[in-house]
Structure 1
Amino acid sequence: MKKTILFIVLIHGFILKACAQESINENSDDDQTPIAENVIFELDFETAAQGTYTTQNLISEGGEIRWSLFGDKANIVVDPEGEKGQVLKVDYPEGTVGPETNGVQFIKTLPASNEYYLDYYVFFEEGFDFREGGKLPGLTSGGSTYTGGNHPDNGEGWSARYMWVNRNAGIEAIVYFYYMDMTSEYGDSVNSGIYFETGKWYRLTQRIKLNQNNLPNGIMQVWIDGVKVIDDTEVRYRLWDQGDIDSFYFSTFHGGATEDWAPQNDSFALFDKIKVTKLKPEF
């Protein structure tokens, strides 16, 4: 009888251990990272003074940056929808195109890694004029190097900003992707099938995991409002051990470069709760 009880206890313990191990295996090893070490970069704008947002304000909240292009087009305001507290308001003036006169840009250098998540919220005001399209922030390797027609032919870097693009069906959210196997002159379009509307907050979550051993086994995943809309597990970002994820590129402006990309009325977008993390955010 005692042997039977001991056997049952041992089996029960084995099952509990196996279940616990299975639970751990459902997450990556990185999921054991302490929360404080998980967040690499964060901006939530709650402690920033309302009004004009400058490079110095950014540094005070988010640490040193590589460079910025703000002009007078960045402001801290209270979310007019009442959902988010203080947010970053970015202006896109009527008739302007390109980052010198439209939108905002800055680059935050990140500790080099082969995997990161980028998570943030964006809101396009009612009446926002999308025109032909424009840029939105994303992760990159090499800062802004691999943009503007500059191809990383030798696998030395890449960039994965988002864009809004005017399609026949509406304004589609895409990843505007520069990488070694790109086929377009100005970046490949990785389509999400999701169409932006005005007057609504969107949550954009991007996962980049670099390929290994020169093989097309890298990962690009995108969730919009917690729903996975891009899932590519055969990406060749780089050759050898170059091309680490090393930058968050906050880049938003209308363009393209020609007048048909310029908004026909003053427009603004709101951004909030920007995070770069080692682990997948909770939805």
Structure 2
Amino acid sequence: MAKSDFGSVSGWHNDRAMISNKNLRITLRKNALSGESGIVSATRIPDGSAYELDFDVRFHSQFDWSRGGKVGFGLGIGNRNTGCNVPFDGAGGTLRLMWYNDGNRVYFYPYVYHAGMAGPCGSNFGKLYPSSGSLEKGKWYKVHMYVKSNTGSNANGHIQIKINGETLIDQSIRWTTNDSKRLISNLSFHTFRGGSGDHWKSDVDSYIYYDNLSVRQITQYILTATALVVLYFHCATFWDPRFTNETIAFLQLASRNASPQGNSLEVKTMRQGIEYLHHASNEKFYGTFKGTLEESTVKTNSTEIPITVYTPTDANKEKLGVYFHGGGWVIGSRKSHQTIVNTIADATKTIWISVEYRLAPEHKYPIWLDDCCDVTQYIIQNKTNFGVNETAKIGVAGDSAGGMIASSVARTVKNVDFQILIYAGLDITRETPSYNEFTHQMYVLTPELMDWLKEHAFETSQDLKDPRISALYNTSLQDVPPCLFIVAELDPLRDGSLEYQKLLEKAGVQTKLLLVKGVIHGYFSLPGIFPQAVAESINTIQDFMVSI
């Protein structure tokens, strides 16, 4: 969420807030309660039916717990009731956090106002944190909140709080009953002592520190769907300064639409998500292909593989390309990648065939690779059936896992004439330096996600060192066809391509490499989000295909 997304701010006091070692430090004044002791601030945020909120909080090493108070950021719905103003009219609610000292120990608990609450002040249902022992001074606590508004008088809203990954509350709730007061519109910052009564006060000033605030509006139609990006991506509080504006816009979109249940990777959800992501991003290109699309199948010894043949108007009859989609061998399809394949076909005036190879985990290695080899071999042997001349050159291409497949097919199948490898996975063992350079979630293709994909795609870890899988394990490369590498600069797979290019050049193979600056893994199949980066890549593909 950008600064421009925020509206008016009220209740802020600069005399009680300062930046200390890049953290926000709030002073809680001695002998005072509520807003007089700290800050009670409200910030207008865009109306939404669901929001996620994260922040870190730490109590100073000399902090006086007193009885307790409100701490940190929260979310307000409708009239955003607080201060023992029970929403009997069903027109408002709030979710905040409180620290409390019961005389034996100190802990956090949720502090909630909602329709139907028992009153007279905020409900404190949910678990305590920690469940035993006390909060520690000087220790950082990571707070995660999720609020979804309900409909009508239904208890189909939601409330969730986690602290350091431990769930305090995660349940359905009836926030409001007034349709005109339904939406979340307020980011609160309540840091003060109280309660009421002198026993809540302290006779010394104390400090609380904050860091890593992240606020994300969640659009209802996304939910858990944008899997590849958001299931393992939560909004970074900083960006790599090398990111292009397109990359930043993409990551901001992904973080705003992230699922609150986003750390659970399931094959079905991931597959739905990759399809939705590509559909939502590239829908404006549908129906723009200047040519014909034909669905067909290729019969192999074990199955029939669906293919789509893209034949542009005035197609060159001397070249044909076979495309393998990305998705870590587990997700993705011809449909998810249809926009980029027809873009390549249009731009190069070349017939391209997209292959629906079988996916893991239902079909683990070597099945999906054998499918692609078999289809390519069939196309080479029957090229004239696809509208090209007998003398036509046949090439292979793919992005990510599809690029890995293309490189393997080019080494395995005879009479492949060229290859285009787009941020291909050429070092599946993760031994090149870029794997260690780009581990943060803002680069999307995290080590955890890669491990998850490999666990589903391969039977054993020994498969990863098979020369058919990891290109860098090959020692005889002199018969490999000319190769175009398209590489994302900020991608853990980057160095695998750089190393493989060196090996091919050493073997005397013609190569060309485009390093696309400032972009991350996955950009190529999303021209609706990365128009400039994709255009640069497509232009390079055009030039390469002319040169061969």
Common fold: TM-score over 0.5: yes
What letter matches 2:59 in structure 1? F
Residue of structure 2 in register with 1:110 after alignment: 45
In the alignment, is residue 140 of structure 1 matched against residue 76 of structure 2?
yes
What letter matches 2:65 in structure 1? F
Residue of structure 1 in register with 2:174 after alignment: 236
Q: Could you tell me which of 34, 45, 65 is aligned with 2:8?
A: 65
The separation in 1 between residues aligned to 2:41 and 2:193, in whole angstroms, is 16
Residue of structure 2 in register with 1:98 after alignment: 34
Are the counterparts in 2 of residues 158 and 243 from structure 1 also a CA contact under 8 Å? no
Q: Deviations over 1:78-116 (max 9, x none)?
A: 0xxxxxxx010000122222212x112321111111111
Report the alpha carbon displacement of residue 199 of structure 1 after superposing the two structures with TM: 0.9
Change (3 A) 1:126 1:62: farther
The separation in 2 between residues aligned to 1:275 and 1:181, in whole angstroms, is 30
The separation in 2 between residues aligned to 1:142 and 1:130, in whole angstroms, is 32
Give the match's secondary structure for 1:212: coil
Residue of structure 1 in register with 2:126 after alignment: 191
Give the match's secondary structure for 1:72: helix
Residue of structure 1 in register with 2:60 after alignment: 125
Report the alpha carbon displacement of residue 267 of structure 1 after superposing the two structures with TM: 0.8
Are the counterparts in 1 of residues 64 and 204 from structure 2 also a CA contact under 8 Å? yes
Change (3 A) 1:62 1:201: farther
Q: Deviations over 1:110-143 (max 9, x none)?
A: 1111111110010001121121110122101146
Residue of structure 1 in register with 2:149 after alignment: 210
Alignment length (residue pairs): 216
Are the counterparts in 2 of residues 140 and 158 from structure 1 also a CA contact under 8 Å? yes
What letter matches 1:67 in structure 2? S
Whose helix proportion is higher, 1 or 2?
2
The separation in 1 between residues aligned to 2:259 and 2:105, in whole angstroms, is 29
The separation in 2 between residues aligned to 1:62 and 1:211, in whole angstroms, is 24
The separation in 2 between residues aligned to 1:142 and 1:240, in whole angstroms, is 9
Give the match's secondary structure for 1:99: helix
What letter matches 1:89 in structure 2? R
Residue of structure 1 in register with 2:163 after alignment: 224
Report the alpha carbon displacement of residue 271 of structure 1 after superposing the two structures with TM: 0.7
In the alignment, is residue 260 of structure 1 matched against residue 161 of structure 2?
no
Over aligned residue pairs, what C-alpha RMSD do you find? Answer: 2.1
Report the alpha carbon displacement of residue 163 of structure 1 after superposing the two structures with TM: 0.8
Q: Could you tell me which of 155, 160, 165 is aligned with 2:90?
A: 155
Report the alpha carbon displacement of residue 157 of structure 1 after superposing the two structures with TM: 1.0
Are the counterparts in 1 of residues 81 and 87 from structure 2 also a CA contact under 8 Å? yes
Q: Could you tell me which of 81, 87, 99 is aligned with 1:164?
A: 99
Q: Deviations over 1:209-259 (max 9, x none)?
A: 1222311122111111122221122x1101153331110001110011221
What letter matches 1:238 in structure 2? T
In the alignment, is residue 74 of structure 1 matched against residue 21 of structure 2?
no
Residue of structure 2 in register with 1:23 after alignment: none
Are the counterparts in 1 of residues 93 and 175 from structure 2 also a CA contact under 8 Å? yes
What letter matches 2:77 in structure 1? S
What letter matches 2:151 in structure 1? Q
Q: Deviations over 1:178-233 (max 9, x none)?
A: 11111121111123321322110001000111222311122111111122221122
What letter matches 1:205 in structure 2? H
Structure 1: unaligned runs, 5 residues or longer: 1-38, 43-60, 79-85
Are the counterparts in 2 of residues 116 and 209 from structure 1 also a CA contact under 8 Å? yes
Change (3 A) 1:258 1:244: same
Report the alpha carbon displacement of residue 160 of structure 1 after superposing the two structures with TM: 1.0
Report the alpha carbon displacement of residue 71 of structure 1 after superposing the two structures with TM: 5.0
Give the match's secondary structure for 1:216: coil
Residue of structure 2 in register with 1:3 after alignment: none
Give the match's secondary structure for 1:188: coil
Change (3 A) 1:163 1:200: same
Are the counterparts in 2 of residues 93 and 265 from structure 1 also a CA contact under 8 Å? yes
Change (3 A) 1:64 1:265: same
Are the counterparts in 1 of residues 110 and 168 from structure 2 also a CA contact under 8 Å? no
Are the counterparts in 1 of residues 59 and 208 from structure 2 also a CA contact under 8 Å? yes
Over the matched positions of the two proteins, sequence identity in percent amounts to 29
Greater Cα radius of gyration, structure 1 or 2: 2
The separation in 2 between residues aligned to 1:243 and 1:161, in whole angstroms, is 18
Report the alpha carbon displacement of residue 68 of structure 1 after superposing the two structures with TM: 2.1
Whose strand proportion is higher, 1 or 2?
1
Give the match's secondary structure for 2:199: helix
Give the match's secondary structure for 1:237: coil
Q: Could you tell me which of 203, 212, 225 is aligned with 1:273?
A: 212
What letter matches 1:239 in structure 2? T
The separation in 1 between residues aligned to 2:32 and 2:199, in whole angstroms, is 10
